[in-house]
Amino acid sequence: MQQNTFWAPITGALREIEHSFVTQWERLPLRSLEQLTYDLSLLAIESLFRFEKKTVYVETTPYHCLITGNPEKPTLVWLHGFADSKYTFAPTALRLKKDFHIVIPDLPGFDGTPFHPTVRHDLNYYTATMAKILQQLGVCDAILVGNSLGGAIALQLALEHPHLVRQVIPVNSAGVVGDELTGFYAELLTGANLFHVNDYDEFETFLSRIFHRRAPMPIFLKIHLYHEFRHNGPWYNKIMGDLTHGLFGAKGMKEARNYKKFALDDRLPEIHKPVHVIWGDRDTLFPLRLGEETARAIPGADFTMIRNCGHCPHMEQPFKLAELIRKVVIV
């Protein structure tokens, strides 16, 4: 307690300095420099982690995929979450590349993929598009590991395209609501979308909700992500509305009665692939009980909890996640 009391004023002062820096940055014509810095950081990741970049097309839309690891080993596909990037799995991939052929595709609507405002971005759309991406890459019998939205896509792929799937490892997965709306789902019902950021304070709130313990982030990268979230806010609202079939922004449960259409709760017993659920125990979006319910509902599924970890274990505890994936994969 004394240690926290000592550091609190220092942490507060540093955040005030950072907030002031961001405010001043926005007044300068430096967005091109900001984008250049971000692009160079991605190139550095590709080079450092020895990723091959491959592009496939689904109905003329390009999707960029990162590929690394040993092609002679089992294929592991990482599916990222809502508003995330394929690049954030790099530290985890580094620990797994000797044992797996790793494929990390884009998700429609995120990470620089083209926007399609007239397309309904529900779970069926994401699942069908991902199946086409994997087929074009020649992927089948894959170990699907997915976080948040990516976890929901992985589970539905096991239902709709079982020939593509050897095993599913959902990590703090979306798509399972439970008997009572809690956490992020309850917030959506009130019209609050955590991913819709209007200012820097809201971006700080977003980060504090996603992570239990935040790792240091270079200030230029943080500024870029803040601007990206703020710019894409209306787009993220559109996708969230599509995904939740009216739950987001509904005026009460009566108006949101179709929300179960996006939930996989009733279909989980139909999954006949090995499943091992992994969950950070400090997730404020999807409480731990949703992970436990997910595992209980799937025949033969196992469950592992990561202690002191929030919604994105691949960013908060990447090496621990890699260790768990290696341990629970069925070869």
pLDDT bin (cut points 50, 70, 90) of residue 52 is: very high
pLDDT beyond 70 at 310? yes
Q: What is the mean pLDDT of residues 35-64?
A: 87
Phi-psi map region of 172: left, alpha, beta (phi>0 left; psi -120 to 50 alpha): left
% of the chain surpassing 70 pLDDT: 87
Which of 4-13, 82-91, 156-165 is the least confident region? Answer: 4-13
Which of 19-23, 44-48, 127-131, 326-330 is the least confident region? Answer: 19-23
Q: What is the mean pLDDT of residues 260-278?
A: 93
Domain ranges for the chain:
2-265+274-328
Q: What is the mean pLDDT of residues 49-60?
A: 92
pLDDT bin (cut points 50, 70, 90) of residue 253 is: low
Q: What is the pLDDT of residue 2?
A: 43
Residue 53's beta-bridge partner residues?
66
Closest CA to 188 of 135, 123, 227, 239: 239
% of the chain surpassing 90 pLDDT: 71
Q: What is the pLDDT of residue 118?
A: 94
Condensed to tens digits (0 to 9), the pLDDT of residues 114-152 reads: 999 999 999 999 999 999 999 999 999 999 999 999 999
pLDDT beyond 80 at 36? no
Residue carrying structure tokens 């993220």: 236
Q: What is the pLDDT of residue 1?
A: 42
Strands 101-105 and 61-69: antiparallel
Q: What is the pLDDT of residue 214?
A: 86
Strands (E), 192-318: 276-280, 302-306
Contact yes or no for 114/143 (Cβ under 8 A):
no
Domain 2-265+274-328 -> CATH class: alpha beta
pLDDT beyond 60 at 5? no
Q: What is the mean pLDDT of residues 13-41?
A: 62
Q: What is the pLDDT of residue 3?
A: 45
Condensed to tens digits (0 to 9), the pLDDT of residues 70-108 reads: 999 999 999 999 999 999 999 999 999 999 999 999 999
* Torsion sign across C-alpha atoms 281, 191, 87, 45: negative
Contacts within 8 Å (CB) and 24+ apart, 32-41: 34/220, 34/223, 34/224, 34/227, 35/224, 37/220, 37/221, 37/224, 38/220, 38/221, 38/224, 41/218, 41/221
pLDDT beyond 80 at 252? no
What Cα–Cα distance (Å) separates residue 254 from each residue in 176, 179, 250, 322, 325? 20, 15, 8, 42, 41
Residues 6+ apart with CB under 8 A from 69: 76, 93, 96, 97, 98, 99, 100, 101, 102
Q: How far apart are the C-alpha atoms of 131 and 154, rounded to whole Å?
A: 10
Residue 18 tokens read as 């950072």
Q: What is the pLDDT of residue 84?
A: 96
User: Mean pLDDT of all residues in the chain?
Assistant: 89
Q: What is the pLDDT of residue 33?
A: 67
